[in-house]
Structure 1
Amino acid sequence: MTGAPASAAGGSGAKPVRGGKLGTAAVNQASLWNIANILTMVRLLLVPGFVMLLFHDGGYDPVWRAFAWAAFAVAMITDLFDGHLARRYNLVTDFGKIADPIADKAIMGAALVSLSVLGDLPWWITGVILFRELGITLMRFWVIRHAVIPASRGGKLKTLAQGTAVGMYVLVMTGPLATLRFWMMMIAVALTVLTGLDYVRQAVVLRRKGLAAERVAALEAVTSAADAEEAGTPGAEAQGTGSPGGVDAGADVSRTRAQARGPAEAER
């Protein structure tokens, strides 16, 4: 849930070559029905199942909550496996790029909101985590024209801490275990906030660099146009020796080049 979707799932539909990796030709024949995409879809289907198990019999039956924990654990594990498979076999499809982050946030969001509805988890914790996840997703779209914010180690650690803490809250715990899960959740919240701030910093830096690069490219285009115009009239100054119009034209070209190059050099 932290970065560009690891499972960006897609596949070849072709049989893998010996050695366990797909050949170049197979990878180029992307197919929707591959193992990484299937795991992503399984995770999506587990969301309503998890919620029904958690709320069964009022939401406080230890046995049914254990079943709900099992569904949540399977969903989190599939997130690890589809990402691994996608990286190993270069399985990339548009469906995977969209479905993978949706599946990640759906299972985590469903768990947080459900636990808060049951009164087991304070709403402020749910609000902080969901606000961060939604905000980072929108921020990725904000800078996607300039660059992609890569998933960081902190983001991966945050996902692990969130999954562990939420899983502990799904189970019925009392005494020292209940205290332990509380502090585990505090660690998850702290990592959520810190990594969120780091993503904001990265987004601002990447956007500034992207905008600066666009300005430099635009100024260089103006400079190139001025150079082309000057090269196209090599005799302009000679012909304009006695002609004010010719002198003015040459001066305009030189002035355009100077104005364009000045800011371009400043950007560099």
Structure 2
Amino acid sequence: MNLPNKLTVGRMIAVPIFIVVLMYGYYYAAAIIFVLASLTDMLDGQIARKYNLVTNFGKIMDPLADKLLVISALVCLVELGDVPAWMVIVVLAREFTVTGLRTVAASQGIVIAAGMSGKIKTVTQMIAVTLILLKNWPFEYLGIPVADIMLWISVIMTIYSGIEYIVQNKQVFSMKE
């Protein structure tokens, strides 16, 4: 297994550790785990592309690991009362829709690559979760709810990127079996 794939697996292994740490109320420790896991997302992709280490495993598992990390964090934050459930439902709906679209496309021999809006969506979600875990630090001292603002931006980007994937790939729905 190459280094990018090991980083992806490491991110997936970090998820249950993150969940336990967060659910026991150690927000700052959970934030450290979350940030480190999020950074592996950027790192594994850069290494894979730079050294031509792109694999089918990585193509499938890397986005899955991202979704697992972010959605696990958001669901835990709903349980802890830090994030409204409807926002997580929007995120889940988008992820199921895009994954379904990709599955149908793949069955027709079409590959739907990650678009820039999807990448921005992931980054905004990771920033929002981090700020929520840090209780809006360091912005709490300024009285600016940056964590809430980033959460809203991430939900807007989630909706936008989901619509963009559907519109740009509408031909997948019109193809005959």
TM-score (normalizing by structure 2): 0.89
Q: How does 1:138-177 map to 2 (within 5 A)?
A: 138-144=100-106, 145-173=108-136, 174=140, 176=142
Cα distance, 1:100 vs. partner?
Answer: 1.6
Shift of 1:87: 1.3
Instruction: Check conservation: 1:146, 1:207, Cα contact below 8 A.
Output: no
Alignment of 1:11-160 (within 5 A): 33-56=1-24, 59=25, 64-144=26-106, 145-160=108-123
Partners in 1 of 2:59 and 2:118 — Cα distance? 18
Distance 1:107 1:141, change over 3 A: same
Provide the secondary structure at the position in 2 that maps to 1:41: helix
Give the root-mean-square deviation of aligned CA atoms.
1.9
Deviation at 1:206, TM superposition (A): 4.7
Counterparts of 2:115 and 2:5, CA distance in 1: 23
- Per-residue deviation, 1:204: 1.0
For this pair of structures, how many residues does the alignment match? 173
Distance 1:94 1:153, change over 3 A: closer
**Structure-2 change in CA distance of 1:205 and 1:177 (3 Å):** farther
Unaligned residue ranges in structure 1 (runs of 5+) = 1-32, 215-268
C-alpha distance in structure 1 between counterparts of 2:109 and 2:173, whole Å: 6
- Displacement after TM superposition at 1:96 (Å): 2.4
* Offset from partner CA, 1:18-58 (integer Å, 9 cap, x none): xxxxxxxxxxxxxxx210111011101100111111122xx
Q: Using CA pairs below 8 Å that are at least 6 residues apart, which structure has the higher relative contact order?
A: 2
Which SS does the other structure have where 2:170 is aligned? helix
For 2:153, which of 168, 174, 187 is the aligned residue? 187
- Whichever of the two has the greater Rg, that structure is 1
The change in CA–CA distance for 1:177 and 1:86 in structure 2 (over 3 A counts) is: farther
How high is the TM-score relative to the length of structure 1? 0.60
Q: State the percentage of identical aligned residues.
A: 39
Instruction: Output the amino acid matched with 1:202.
Output: Q
| Aligned residue type for 1:119 | G
Query: 1:162 & 1:200 partners in 2: Cα distance?
Result: 20
What does the per-residue CA deviation read over 1:156-215, in whole Å, with 9 as the maximum and x for residues that have no partner? 11111111011111112346556221111111111110110010112213554xx48x9x
Structure 2: segments with no counterpart, 5+ residues? none
Secondary structure of residue in 2 paired with 1:131? helix
